[in-house]
Amino acid sequence: MQKKAFSLLLSFILLFTLVLPAAPPVSATNDAKITASQSKNSMTEEREIQITADLGTKTDVNQLKWTFGGKPLEEWKQWDPNAKKYSGKPYITFSEPPAYIEGSTKIKATIKFSLLYGTNDVSPRSLRTLYPALIGNYDLAVSDPSKGKSAVTSMKLNVYDEYLKWEEIKPEVDRISKNAINGRYVSSETLGHSTEGRPMHFMVLAKDKASVDQYLNEIAKQKLENPAAIKRKIENGKLNNYKVPIWINNIHPDESPGVDAIIELYRIMATEKSKTFKTGEPGKEKETNLDIDQALDNVIFLFNFTQNPDGRVHNTRQNANGFDLNRDNTYQTQIETQNLAKGLTKWSPVSLLDFHGFYDEFVIEPCTPPHNPNYEYDLLMDGMMEQAEEMGKAGIANTKYDSYLIPLKDWPNKFDDATPSYTSTYSMFHGAMGHTVEIPDINSESYKALVNAGLGAAKYVSENKKRLFLNQLNVYERGVKGEDNRAVDSWFVNPEGEKIGRDRDGNESFFPDYYVIPVDKKGQKNVLEAHKMANYLIRNGIKVSKSEKKVKADGKTYPKGSYVIDMKQAKRGFINAVLYDGEDLSEWEEMYAEVINNFHDLRGFDRMEVRAENAFAGVLLPVRTAEAPKTKMKGNADSYVIKNSSNEAVKAVNKLLKMKKTVYQLTEDGKNYAAGDYAVSSEDLSSIKKAYYLETVPYNKKVKTVKLQQPKIYSTGSAASKYVLKELGFAFAPSEEEADVVVDDAGLAKKALIQEGKPYIGIGSSALNFIEKENLLPGFDYSTTTGSRASHEGLLRTDVNTEMLQTSGYTAEEKLYIATGSYMKAVPKDSHILAKVSGREDFFISGWWPNHDVLKNQTIAFTKDEMTLFSIDLTNKAHPQYSYRLLANSIYAAGK
């Protein structure tokens, strides 16, 4: 979410405070005290609190004035969802009216605090946005106006007792750390900082520092490099005192019990010697004990209190850029997921728990099919299902919940892990048993369910350390040996449950021997993206090398200097997940989220599979950091052409326009350049060339051009589009009326402005629906299909009209991405088609789009007059970066 969006949210909350019962006041000086049976009130739990007050004199009790937060009790009302204000039934009442104790000036009463929102669960989004404004300390006061006497006590009103605001988390963690049992090692660290600069608080808890040092300096590296050697040490009894990490995580901070449960688990593990809790099925519960000293002989605990600090502050699921981070763990467009990747790469935990909400059921992964074929699923499941059972039994035995649900066991196919973008599924590529844990409610019961599920998980890992660690080592060993073990095949099934195994496409192994990413201009269409991909892999713990020599293999020649990823390494499943083309999962009835990663096509660089064992043996040098190339200005020309071949070109042009420099766009082809490229003076190019990697050639000024003006954009709809436009350097207009171009991916543009001829770029099904519904383009018709959770998506072979400025820099055949299941069935006469789906039989590369044959030869982008429409989802989750220039080109072309 952009900062402007947060301002709007804050304005919305302020509007609601006009009808709230009261804001937490500053405590006043008291003449006397009230004694209360407790000082905590919960919005999600009815409570009766016994009150004793002494004003020193007697008066008519009916004349006494009772207030809470400076507001008369009778003015506190429950939330009325229909009126959308606090105007419902009384929230605070007397269940036992005030009365003097006989022979005393003391007053006794029982005050009842009911459910502020009429429910003990405020997880619905309509309520989740409301409660934070009311959390705080309030004065409960009784006064005698006739005597000028009053008595006051402070009470905490919270959504549930354990909820901590962002600013309360670090002090509470520090308090726990100070109270840690002597000898236990606690280390306060940070995984990095959030979009708005807040630290991602992270705690390491271990038996002692030596345990951490041994793991990080010896085991963590060796288990990736030579897992077989560690296995031998364990089996021979030469390695007994090792510890394995458990990582406990929250990524959606508005699913609030998760954060608070992690803090409580840290408190238990740091400050208690043992913890007794119940486990078992309903009616068969029994007490069990976690001996924490014994657990610390086996486990290192890692607590990531929230992966999204800004979301905890603003009580949002998304981060400050408006992104759902639980869909970004592989894309890693956001700093928070990049930080997490570095942390998981460092620790490679055996188990990861990611605390979430909200389902009607108490849900614990593992997931249903289809499973991502790059997992060593058979090894992960040797423990993952059992751990889920132990978590579930502990979660329900200690709460009001009477059941838990494991999707793999209890559902057919509605909770898949085909995508590795969730925190839990991403962690599985690091060899972790990755569990998403979904609670039903926002209240203390769901908080307790998570705490006890965490205890169950800790006990399970501690007691099964050897087997679970050997399973992780076996995952790594398969990678290091290049083994495609057929034991995994039984986990990969079709919708009928029939085993299909990994699709090896006639090859001996599902995995290639190498991936090669060239960096020479002849073999690489986007040199900068090639370097960025190398750094992405390194950040995720992948070994990347450079070839010292030209190599011939598979009948092809791979240039010297190319990045080479040898697939014989521990986390080769992750490499393949982001660099293979992906799967066609269209036969499945339902998918949970996008399944396409395919960085090479969506981010626009060339990569090659090599299936020749040892093809690069002896010619590889390790790469620690991939250094981006620099812009070169050949010759000594007065002017240069910046090729429209990358997003860097767009950023550079927008930077120059912002600097009030002159930029021309070519409108016809030349000898070494093409329509859509940009012409600038040598002086202006020199001023920015260090900031961008640009392809440039001298310009002879012999082709037609048009002078560019910096367009002001108004973007409706998704945070992703706003983020992308900002990243590309476009200027934003304060209103739709003042904009030069409207970019709309939500169908929220103003109809009248479009009718008046305001240049308009519509992206995806919502925008297409808006144009059709409002009849803004006679002759236009489109079709869209959606699933219950994820829209149909596909990476498609397409035919592109390269004669248009909107498609400058693209070739006649491109692979383009649709995320919202839409295409154009009819376009108006005199439209210019920009792109169509190919008519080839193999047009559908990967994705989930049942009955996708209807897409053949269909239009997916066109322009007419001041309107350009795309069913291509150009900015979806900021991942299809190769498509950004279609948007930028269309913006520059608007109004011409």
b (16+ CB within 10 A) / e for 553-591: bbeeebbeebbbbbbbbbbbbbbbbbbbebbbbbebebb
Contact 354, 422 (CB under 8 A): yes
**What is the Rg, in whole angstroms, of the alpha carbon atoms belonging to the chain?**
31
Q: How far apart are CA 771 and CA 20, in angstroms?
A: 40
Among 237, 188, 274, residue whose Cα is nearest residue 459: 274
Asked if 568 contacts 482 with a C-beta cutoff of 8 angstroms, the reply is yes
Contact (CB, 8 A) for 73 and 16: no
DSSP lists the bridge partners of residue 68 as 71, 140
Cis, peptide link before residue 355, omega less than 30° from 0:
no
What does the block give as tokens for 842? Answer: 């193999």
**Which of 438, 477, 583, 772 is an active site residue?**
438
Cα 619 versus chain centre, distance: 38
Residues 6+ apart with CB under 8 A from 62: none
Residue 599: both structure tokens together: 């960085």
Pairing of strands 274-279, 363-364: unpaired
Q: Are 488 and 500 in contact (CB under 8 A)?
A: no
Per-residue 3-state assignment (H helix, E strand, C coil) for 389-433: HHHHHHHHHCCCCCCCECHHHHCCCCCEECCCCCHHHHHHCCCCE
- From residue 278, give the alpha-carbon distance in Å to each of 265, 479, 555, 726, 876: 16, 40, 64, 52, 45
Of the candidates 611, 892, 605, the one whose C-alpha atom is nearest the C-alpha of residue 759 is 892
Concerning whether 438 is annotated as a catalytic residue, the answer is: yes
Cβ-in-10-Å burial (0-12, 13-18, 19+) of 886 comes to: buried
In the structure encoding, which two tokens stand for residue 696, read together? 């440039």
CB 536 within 8 Å of CB 544: no
**Sequence-separated (6 or more) residues with CB below 8 Å from residue 367:** 407, 408, 415, 416, 417, 425
**Rounded Cα–Cα distance for residues 168 and 155 (Å):** 17
Rounded to 5 degrees, φ, ψ at 383 are 140, -35
- Residue 753 near residue 733, CB atoms below 8 Å: no
- Alpha-carbon distance of 740 to 60, in angstroms, equals 71
Helices (H), 518-594: 527-539, 572-579
Q: DSSP assignment of 542-553, as one string?
A: --EEEESS-EEE
Helix or strand holding residue 560 (H, E)? none
In the chain, DSSP finds a helix count (H) and a strand count (E) of 24, 44
Would you name the residues annotated as active-site residues? 438
